[in-house]
Structure 1
Amino acid sequence: MTQKDQKVFYITGASKGFGLILVNQLLERGFNVAATSRNKEQLVNVINNKLVTEENFLPLQVDLTSDESVKKSIEDTISKFTRIDVIINNAGYGQFGTIEELTDKEVRDNFECNLFGVISVVRNALPHLRTNKFFANGPRIINISSIAGFTGSFPGCSIYSSTKFALEGLTEGLGADLKEFGIHVSSVKPGYFRTSFLEKDSMAGPANPIKEYTAVRHVQEMHQGQINGNQSGDPEKGCKVIIDHALSENPSTHLFLGPDSMKYAQSKIESIQNDIKTNHEVASSTDFSQ
């Protein structure tokens, strides 16, 4: 790969799951990578060191809930690589539990990581992205969302889904805001992939579960027991698609990743279309002219 093609990626949540695979695949393909984790030492230990050189990799210890920590990581990346071409906002975690069960802190912590951390990264990176002319078709922002950000009909996931629904709105709004600068913004909505996402350190449960929510507990146990480790999605293949999407000439705003994700999306679209049809007559009678 020539120097001209050595694009610079900035990836959050890089010490496991999609983030770790993305970093290793990018390094293997010859790109430069700045990667963040809450624990820098852990990140360095899990990366494929055979792919790492002093020139192509920058591990960063970052607290995404701290704007100062995020700002410094962006500045450190610019200092080492002179620019950022692609941001992949991958950091996040799942939160099982109904609204009644979850404390205010549990809810806000999920939003802090899954949404406000993304906002902090984008806010601090935009001054550099807007002036970046290295990428011929414009810099990219890739937000790793979830199919749960498009359809919220998963019992026990209302808070997690709402963080991802908000991320979807942010993605579309950013795309409109940044169009004049040639910056492409996309959302990736994975289905079930065989990563550590359903493990307890990535999928939190309510500290104070309510026994009456039997259906929700059943879904939680099913995900962390039967589904965990048996997901149909291959994360290596999924990450390749994400990287190819980021490098494509005109990346689409929405990327539904996995056959199950596309199936859930089609079902939601059909449901919306049916609701529009059902309420069309009465909903069309609300203008002053009617």
Structure 2
Amino acid sequence: MSNVNTSQYKRVWFITGASRGLGALIAQAALDAGHAVVATGRNAAAITERLGVSPALLPVALDVTDEGQAKAAVDAAIGAFGRIDVLVNNAGFGLLAAIEESSDADVRRMFDTNVFGLLNVTRAVLPVMRRQRAGHVMNMSSVGGYRSAAGFGVYCSTKFAVEGITEALHAELQPLGVHATVVEPGYFRTDFLDASSLTVGQEVIGDYDATSGQIRRLAVEMNHNQPGDPQKLAAALVTLADAPNPPLRLALGTDTLRAIAEKNAYVTAETAAWQTLSSSTDFAV
């Protein structure tokens, strides 16, 4: 049972990775807009330090790779606020390395958080939303979830997985009154390219210097010079939560819009060029 009057809050948000970066900004934007927020992260004290103390804020310690912790965090959210209206699966980190340079340990650790952790939290929250016949799952992807690139291939593969998961969720949940959106930010001026959020492969192979090596160097130059305003991203998600018919995909940033257009044009041209061979493999009628 809830121990507070939840009618005073517009919605109840459940946000992972909320102690810093985009997660903290999204939590703050939701609080400022009159919502209640269950802000989760590995260190609950860091959440309080970042967001302060408020009856509308419930900081919860959560390692998303631990399914039991995910279920306990949802129970705490229901105990405090009685419902969950918006889930923002934000927890995750990047890996900068060529595919061959990416160690097995780094790859598995990233998939554990970016994909399996997202699934742990989503499975824990969905029974609540199904009972409510209402809710909105927002899964944080990336421009790299739509178009992969040298140097970020394995990271992009985790975001491609998030895209596939969300597309299926969108179809499965729609008849139940629950929405699912995959959010595709471009480069925003956060700590994503810092060591706290980005693992850089230890092995460097000279043959990749002109491709992944160049991306390593560009990442250093771009860090904290990215074009996207993270405050505006946080505000955009609050707007998204208010949408009566939210999209399956929401691109954020002109760089993402440009990348999507370029990939769509590439795929259209390549499909046309290989159409004869592609259509030759059906049984003859």
TM-score class, shorter-chain normalisation, is over 0.9
Rounded Cα–Cα distance in structure 1 between residues aligned with 2:229 and 2:90: 17
Contact 2:25 2:231 (C-alpha < 8 Å) held by counterparts: yes
Asked if 1:12 corresponds to 2:16, the answer is yes
Partner of 2:59: 59
- Per the TM alignment, residue 104 of structure 1 is displaced from its structure 2 partner at its CA by 1.2
Give 1:212 shift: 3.8
What is the TM-score normalised by the length of structure 1?
A: 0.93
Residues in 2 aligned to 1:172 and 1:4: alpha-carbon distance in whole angstroms: 33
Aligned counterpart, 1:74: 74
User: Does 2:21 correspond to 1:22?
Assistant: no
CA contact (8 A) 2:9 2:36 kept: no
27, 33, 38: which one aligns with 2:37: 33
Deviation at 1:242, TM superposition (A): 1.6
The question of 1:106 aligning with 2:106 is answered yes
Give CA deviations for 1:6-53 in whole Å, capped at 9, x if unaligned: 210000000111111111111111100001111111111111x3xx42
For the residues of structure 1 that align with 2:98 and 2:276, how far apart are their CA atoms? Answer: 35
Question: What amino acid maps onto 2:242 in structure 1?
Answer: L
- Give 1:178 deviation, angstroms: 1.4
Query: Which residue of the partner structure matches residue 3 of structure 2?
Result: none
What is residue 94 of structure 2 aligned with on the other side?
94
3-state SS of 1:131 partner: helix
Which amino acid in structure 1 is aligned with residue 209 of structure 2?
A: T
User: Could you tell me which residue of structure 1 aligns to residue 154 of structure 2?
Assistant: 159
Query: Once the two structures are aligned, what percentage of the paired residues are identical?
Result: 36
1:208, distance to aligned residue in structure 2 (A): 2.9
What TM-score comes out, normalization by structure 2 length? 0.94
Cα displacement string for residues 217-272 of structure 1 (whole angstroms, at most 9, x for unaligned residues): 2311221x210111111111111112211221010000010111000000000011
**Is 1:234 equivalent to 2:238 in the alignment?**
no
Question: Whole-Å Cα distance in 1 between the matches of residues 279 and 203 of structure 2?
Answer: 45
| Structure 2: unaligned runs, 5 residues or longer | 1-5
Q: Distance in 1 between matches of 2:44 and 2:273?
A: 53
The DSSP-based 3-state class of the residue aligned with 1:64 is: coil
Secondary structure at the counterpart of residue 101 of structure 1: coil
Report the Cα distance in structure 2 between the residues aligned to 1:126 and 1:163, rounded to whole angstroms.
21
Partners of 1:145 and 1:165 in 2: CA distance:
8
- Residues 1:260 and 2:261 are matched in the alignment: no
Q: CA deviation at 1:289?
A: 3.1
Post-superposition offset of 1:114: 0.7
Cα distance in 1 for partners of 2:59, 2:48 equals: 7
Q: Deviations over 1:111-167 (max 9, x none)?
A: 11111111001111111110115xxxx310000100101001x21111000000010
Q: Which residue of 1 aligns with 2:214?
A: 218
Superimposed CA distance per residue, residues 171-207 of structure 1 (whole angstroms, 9 cap, x where no aligned partner): 0011111122111000000011111111111111013
Q: Write the distance in 1 (CA, Å) between the matches of 2:214 and 2:174.
A: 44
- The runs of 5 or more residues in structure 1 that have no matched partner are none
Q: Deviations over 1:76-134 (max 9, x none)?
A: 1011111100100011111011222222111011111111111001111111110115x
Size of the aligned set, in residue pairs, is 279
State the secondary structure of the residue aligned to 1:142: strand
1:4 shift after superposition: 6.3
Question: Residues of 2 paired with 1:45 and 1:211: CA distance?
Answer: 43
| Structure 2 CA distance for aligned equivalents of residues 221 and 204 of structure 1 | 14
Correspondence 1:119-198 to 2 at 5 A: 119-133=119-133, 138-152=134-148, 154-198=149-193
Q: How far is the alpha carbon of 1:209 from its aligned partner?
A: 2.9
Cα separation, 1, equivalents of 2:84 and 2:62:
17
SS at match of 2:255: helix
Deviation at 1:3, TM superposition (A): 2.4
